[in-house]
Amino acid sequence: MKKQFKWKKLLPNIVIVLVIVYFQAPLIYNSFKQENKVIKPVTLIDLQNNIVDFPVDGKQVYLFWATWCGPCHLQMSYLELTLSESQLSSIVAISLGENPKTVNKFLKKNPLSFKVLIAPSSDSWQHFGVKATPSTMFLNKDGRVDYFSSGLSFLFPLRVWFLNLL
């Protein structure tokens, strides 16, 4: 006797996959849309309230984050664990739309090995094309986006390692 395929058992899995695709598709599309884009210069501030110009000279790897973002905390902890000190020095973490006091308070409890800057303006999300945090951006020497990704990425350290080889 031939067994009949049971759609009822498969249907919940299909629904879960469709829901995930539905919510992730805009982020994936945004990532591709950002590539090869020139990011206009903007003024940021460092942790001592000094003005810093973006893009930062010689820095090509940017991580956009927020103190309230749980996946951002995971991403930064993962970077600290997997990358060497010289590789971490090539990363600049940019906190988007937050008060410098909030960022400093967070960093006192959770110190980081890489440079942290703050984009306090509420429209900084739009300037960088960030739709979700954490987001990562790799700029080439011409200031164009080589790679952009939204969401937690376990491949991020591998890309940083490769970039440091070049």
Closest to 148 (Cα-Cα) out of 140, 156, 138: 138
Q: pLDDT-based confidence at 1, cuts 50/70/90?
A: low
Model confidence pLDDT, tens digit, residues 124-136: 878 888 888 898 8
The Cα–Cα gap between 134 and 156 comes to 11
The SS3 of residue 22 is: helix
Model confidence pLDDT, tens digit, residues 107-123: 999 998 888 999 988 77
Q: Which residue has the higher pLDDT, 27 or 148?
A: 148
145-154 mean pLDDT: 79
In the chain the domains, ranked by start, together with CATH numbers, are: 7-165 (3.40.30.10)
Give pLDDT, residue 13.
76
Give pLDDT, residue 166.
47
From 15-29, 63-77, 89-103, the region with the lowest mean pLDDT: 15-29
The Cα–Cα gap between 142 and 155 comes to 24
Neighbours of 57 (CB within 10 A): 6
The Cα–Cα gap between 103 and 100 comes to 5
> How many Å is the Cα radius of gyration of the chain?
19
Average pLDDT, the chain: 79
Model confidence pLDDT, tens digit, residues 16-48: 777 766 655 555 555 556 677 777 888 899 999
80 pLDDT above the threshold of 70: yes
Q: pLDDT-based confidence at 103, cuts 50/70/90?
A: very high
For tokens 């970039």, the residue is 163
Give pLDDT, residue 94.
93
